Amino acid sequence: MVLSGQKVVVVGGSSGIGLSTAELAKNEGAEVVIASRNAERLNAAAVKIGAKAIPTDVTSDESVGQLFRQCGRVDHVVVTAAQLRTGPFKTVSMDDVRATMEAKFWGAWRVARAAEIRGGGSLTLVSGFLSVRPRPAAAIVGAANGALESLGRSLALELAPARVNVVSPGIIDTPIRAAMPEAARREMLAKAAAALPVGRVGLGEDIARQILAFMTVGFATGSIVYLDGGGLIV
């Protein structure tokens, strides 16, 4: 078990990529803390995988500060938390685009500032393929992802000897699309899968394995890994 004796905090760990990462870290022997807003969902996830739950809202300085005061010094931190509100560029409300940046970008920024990560430990941020493969009506998400990738490289210098990396997922089947009607969601995922060289969309576990590699490969810092089943080359 490659994470025996190590402490891992997953912010956004109650669902999707974060939950898969928390579960993998736990299976690799780590002591795992998961953090997100909805306490009921968070506690259920924590019980399921044997992690500790600390309710946290990344849009609040105080909440993020409190999380890391409770955690103390840690080995690895992962940020997957995001609430994405988007729409056509000319009409999407400023409240929506600000809310997207507040959680996805400023949330990661707050976590990076508050976490005390041991030298050689790691911080992993999660961006997304829209930074390099934009699509209409999602400019704010692409911009947030691009900003996170730039932040990750800056922090790899400034937070050294802690290591900082970014993983950019393609389309991953997680509860992030839970608000879509089920039939439309399935159709969209099937279409996406058919267009990819790997013939399937991603699973939370695919991204979790990359994050585990960032935690355990001590030479990895300032890296951005695009993990998208070939989505960027089709």
Q: Which of residues 200-229 bind ligand NAP (CB under 6 A)?
A: none
CA distance 104 to 26: 25
CA distance 82 to 18: 11
Binding mask 70-109 for ligand NAP (x = CB under 6 A): ----------xxxxx------------------xx--x--
Is 124 among the residues that bind ligand NAP (CB under 6 A)? Answer: no
Q: Cis bond leading into 161, ω under 30°?
A: yes
**Do 154 and 183 meet the contact criterion of CB atoms below 8 Å apart?**
no
- Tell the residue number behind the tokens 């940020």, with chain if given: 79
Is 6 among the residues that bind ligand NAP (CB under 6 A)? Answer: no
Tell me how far, at minimum, the Cβ of 46 lies from ligand NAP, in Å.
11
Phi and psi torsions of 131, nearest 5°: -65, -30
- Tell the residue number behind the tokens 């300085």, with chain if given: 61
Is 12 among the residues that bind ligand NAP (CB under 6 A)? Answer: yes
Rounded to the nearest angstrom, the gap between the alpha carbon of residue 8 and the centroid of all alpha carbons in its chain is: 14
Which one of the spans 24-32, 114-122, 124-132, 152-160 is the region binding ligand NAP (CB under 6 A)? 124-132
Which one of the spans 154-162, 165-173, 182-190, 214-222 is the region binding ligand NAP (CB under 6 A)? 165-173
The SS3 call for residue 126 is: strand
Tell me how far, at minimum, the Cβ of 30 lies from ligand NAP, in Å.
18
Q: Indicate the helix (H) or strand (E) that contains 31.
A: strand 31-35
Nearer to ligand NAP, 132 or 220 (CB): 132
Is 16 among the residues that bind ligand NAP (CB under 6 A)? Answer: yes
Is 110 among the residues that bind ligand NAP (CB under 6 A)? Answer: no
Nearer to ligand NAP, 1 or 41 (CB): 41
Token pair of 77 as six digits = 């931190």
Tell me how far, at minimum, the Cβ of 20 lies from ligand NAP, in Å.
8
CA distance 207 to 228: 9
**Do 75 and 64 meet the contact criterion of CB atoms below 8 Å apart?**
no
Nearer to ligand NAP, 121 or 231 (CB): 231
Beta strand extents in 64-202 (DSSP E only): 73-79, 116-126, 163-169
Tell me how far, at minimum, the Cβ of 91 lies from ligand NAP, in Å.
22
Binding site for ligand NAP (CB under 6 A): 12, 14-18, 36-38, 41, 56-59, 80-84, 103-104, 107, 126, 128-129, 169, 171-172, 174-176
